[in-house]
Amino acid sequence: MKKLNVGLVGAGFMGKAHVVAYSNMPKFFWPAPAVPVLKTICDIEPSIAEEAKDRFGFQACCTDWHDIINDPEIDVVSICTPNNAHAPIAIAALQAGKHVICEKPIASTLDDAKAMADAAKEAAKKGIVSMNAYQYRRVPAIDLAKKFIDEGAVGDILNIRCTYLQSWSADPDSPLSWRFQKDIAGAGTLGDIASHVIDIAQYLAGDIEEVVSMVKTYIKERPVQEGGVDLLGTVKLGADAPRKEVDVDDEDSFLVKFKNGAVGSIEATRNAWGRNNFITIELHGTKGSIAFNYERLNELQVCFADDPDDRRGFKTIYTGPAHFHGEVTWNIPGMNIGYGELKTIEMYEFIKAITEGYQPSTNFEVGYRVERVCDAVMRSAQDKAWMKVED
Ligand code: SOE
């Protein structure tokens, strides 16, 4: 059985998600395309690196990512750091001949995103694979939606409405983690979560051509936190804590026009009390409609125009063994998959692409296109006008 040695940079929340995915992939997908071996984990904080090594079962740990790049035994690099570190690590890894899976958004600036896409294109000539972790398009229900669209079951797409709503930053006492600092994150809600639904919208309805947007920052300053770990609002800092300015967006709302003539809207915020991982997609076509909500990720709602008048309406399909990779997860629809299984499916797609020698559907070029849509959203908010997405 082929083995691939893994080096992982960034031992926080997403580092844990990648470890779960590497470990579980051969347990679900057997025979696995290759078995990942957890070789080295890197975190700039020595105590976190040490702890992560033991907790996750890596053979070694380090505090300088160059040690991973310079290790000839490492085949695959996972990048789970804050956004501004994506480009230097990814480019160095690709140039060293390592396959790269990088968390989203691809980078903290458009220039970095382009440099990463260029490096990935060069590396691809030598069979090196790049992947940006836009995992939500791999939810089996979203895959089913894509199948209905491709088969023509809902006709031509007229409109797609997407939201990504969370609540973890709605409290002004939630600390100023790196996600609220432009020089590290590049953007706020836009890069962090709107990017996911931009990816899904383009996956289902094709490239976005033009946008008009409104961008808001509701909470202008937040308490400064000790250390770089992002606590995602789980710990609050009191009124006495020193506060610093937030220089990124809390909420983005925009209308979109697709190249194929469809239209739509995207709304994203992390300040929506009561909404948690509320990714909704509603798509209307000439022959039917599709609706999805990640908070019920094992379900897809569909309505077909051809149904008789007296029984036309949304019906719910529960995803299971008949759907995307459902034959290897759990046996009965309704047993349900969650975030861990979803990241495992994503990891399978990454490892399979490496062993079979092709670029996955969320390669760096695709991540760079999402970034260009984000850039148009920001330009539009500034100039209060429709903006074209750069081709
Ligand atoms: C925080 O908003 C976050 O962890 C995002 O960074 C992820 O991309 C999203 O999947 C869950 O929420």
Instruction: Give me the half-sphere count of Cα atoms (radius 13 Å) on the Cβ side of residue 129.
Output: 22
Residues 285-306: tens digit of each pLDDT: 999 999 999 999 999 999 999 9
Residues 165-196: tens digit of each pLDDT: 999 999 999 999 999 999 999 999 999 999 99
- Give the helix ranges, DSSP H, for the chain: 13-28, 46-56, 66-69, 86-95, 110-124, 140-150, 182-185, 189, 195-205, 339-356, 364-383
Which residue is closest in CA terms to ligand 1's atom 12? 193
- Residue 230 has a pLDDT of 78
* Residue labelled with tokens 């903290």: 108
Residues 244-277: tens digit of each pLDDT: 999 999 999 999 999 999 999 999 999 999 999 9
- Residue 94 has a pLDDT of 98
Cα–Cα distance measured from residue 221 to residue 176, given in angstroms and rounded to the nearest whole number: 8
**Of 109, 57, 69, 61, whose CA–CA distance to 87 is shortest?**
109
Relative to the CA of 104, which ligand 1 atom is closest? 8
Ligand 1 centroid – CA 166 distance (Å)? 9
- Residue 387 has a pLDDT of 98
Measured at the CA of 58, the angle between CA 64 and CA 340, to 5 degrees, comes to 105
Ligand 1 centroid – CA 232 distance (Å)? 9
Confidence check: pLDDT of 349 > 80:
yes
Q: Which residue has the higher pLDDT, 228 or 353?
A: 353
**Of 81, 58, 70, whose CA–CA distance to 9 is shortest?**
81
Q: What is the 3-state secondary structure (H, E, C) of 259-284?
A: CCCCEEEEEEECCCCCCCCEEEEEEE
Give the pairing type, strands 76-79 and 99-102. Answer: parallel
Confidence check: pLDDT of 356 > 90:
yes
**Of 284, 303, 305, 283, whose CA–CA distance to 293 is shortest?**
283
- Residue 226 has a pLDDT of 75
3-state secondary structure of 255: strand
3-state secondary structure of 241: coil
Confidence check: pLDDT of 323 > 90:
yes
Ligand 1 centroid – CA 335 distance (Å)? 24
- Residue 237 has a pLDDT of 81
Residue 18's Cα: distance from chain center in Å? 12
Residues 203-245: tens digit of each pLDDT: 999 999 999 999 999 999 999 887 777 778 788 887 788 999 9
For residue 152, which amino acid is it?
G
CB distance 63 to 30 below 8 Å:
no
Question: Model pTM?
Answer: 0.97
Cα–Cα distance measured from residue 147 to residue 152, given in angstroms and rounded to the nearest whole number: 9
Q: Assess whether the C-beta atom of 192 lies below 6 angstroms from ligand 1.
A: yes
Q: Assess whether the C-beta atom of 193 lies below 6 angstroms from ligand 1.
A: yes
- Residue 319 has a pLDDT of 98
CB distance 193 to 270 below 8 Å:
yes
- Residue 201 has a pLDDT of 98
Mean of the per-residue pLDDT values of the chain? 97
Cα–Cα distance measured from residue 90 to residue 364, given in angstroms and rounded to the nearest whole number: 10
Mean pLDDT of 68-73: 98
Q: CB-based burial of residue 383 (10 Å sphere; 0-12 exposed, 13-18 middle, 19+ buried)?
A: exposed
Confidence check: pLDDT of 150 > 80:
yes
